[in-house]
Amino acid sequence: MKVVLVPASAQTSQCVIQTLLDDASASSVFGVYRNVGKVPANFKNHPNFQLVQGDVSDGSTLDFSDRDAVITV
């Protein structure tokens, strides 16, 4: 399952991302960050995590095609 979290920098989002990464059913977790400097190192180094630079106020930076679920926090 391919899951997107937007925005991913919120504390709640980070907890959800970690839970999804710990769950084998989530094959890919995409975190949408406006500021990529806020991505925790343990996410960057996880093989199932993919960083997406985007901004919820600019729809042209967001592409959720080919994703199974989008979680907004």
- Domain range summary for the chain, segments of one domain joined by +: 2-56+68-72
DSSP character string of the chain: -EEEEES--SHHHHHHHHHHHHSTT-SEEEEEESSGGGS-HHHHT-TTEEEEE-BTTBGGG---TT-SEEEE-
Model pLDDT, residue 25: 75
Question: Predicted confidence band at 59 (pLDDT cuts at 50, 70, 90)?
Answer: confident
Model confidence pLDDT, tens digit, residues 2-57: 999 999 999 999 999 999 999 877 789 999 999 999 999 999 999 999 999 999 89
d(C-alpha 24, C-alpha 73), whole Å: 22
Longest CA–CA span in the chain (Å) reads 32
